[in-house]
């Protein structure tokens, strides 16, 4: 309708790096959410599988990847997709 504000979906981001053990990971994650225009949707947060998984769990993400190559190759499916 005329005059109504259009609700836009947040732009989905993929992080490379920024796991829980990184200096800037949480800062970037928090900053990306401040204006509600962005959403971290997926990523590969660490080469270490345990750190990668802990980051995904801590941030409550539904999707993640185990490598940069997996993330950037569209023929791969995510390592995990949670419901």
Is 21 inside any structural domain?
Answer: yes
pLDDT tens sequence across 29-50: 999 999 999 999 999 999 999 9
Distance set, CA 34 to CA 7, 14, 27, 51, 67 (Å): 17, 16, 11, 24, 27
With pLDDT > 90 as the criterion, what percentage of the chain qualifies?
70
Number of Cβ atoms within 10 Å of the Cβ of 13: 15
| The two three-digit tokens of residue 16, written as one number | 């490379």
Is 1 inside any structural domain?
Answer: no
What is the pLDDT at residue 43?
A: 94
Burial class from Cβ neighbours inside 10 Å (0-12, 13-18, 19+) for residue 29 reads buried
pTM, rounded to two decimals: 0.76
Is 6 inside any structural domain?
Answer: no
- The boundaries of the domain holding residue 51 are 11-81
Average pLDDT of the chain, as a whole number: 87
Domain total of the chain = 1
């Amino acid at each position: 309708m005329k005059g109504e504000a259009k609700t836009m979906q947040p732009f989905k981001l993929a992080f490379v790096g920024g796991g829980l053990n990184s200096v800037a990971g949480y800062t970037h994650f928090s900053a990306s959410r401040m204006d509600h225009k962005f959403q971290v949707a997926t990523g590969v947060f660490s080469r270490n599988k345990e750190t990668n998984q802990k980051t995904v769990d801590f941030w409550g993400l539904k999707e993640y990847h185990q490598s940069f190559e997996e993330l950037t190759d569209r023929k791969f499916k995510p390592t995990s997709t949670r419901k």
